[in-house]
Amino acid sequence: MSALPFGGGLRPETIIPMLVNSGFRDLQIGSHTPIAVAQRKTANLRNRLRTLFYRRFILTATVE
What is the SS3 string spanning 27-54?
A: EEEEECHHHHHHHHHHCCHHHHHHHHHC
Residue 46: give the domain boundaries.
12-63
In a domain, 47, yes or no: yes
Distance CA(61)–CA(16), nearest Å, equals 10
Q: What is the pLDDT of residue 62?
A: 95
Does the pLDDT of residue 1 top 70, yes or no? Answer: no
- pLDDT tens digits for range 28-59: 999 888 988 898 899 999 988 888 887 889 99
pTM (whole model) above 0.75: no
Please count the structural domains in the chain.
Answer: 1
In a domain, 4, yes or no: no
In a domain, 2, yes or no: no
In a domain, 1, yes or no: no
In a domain, 50, yes or no: yes
Distance CA(32)–CA(54), nearest Å, equals 9
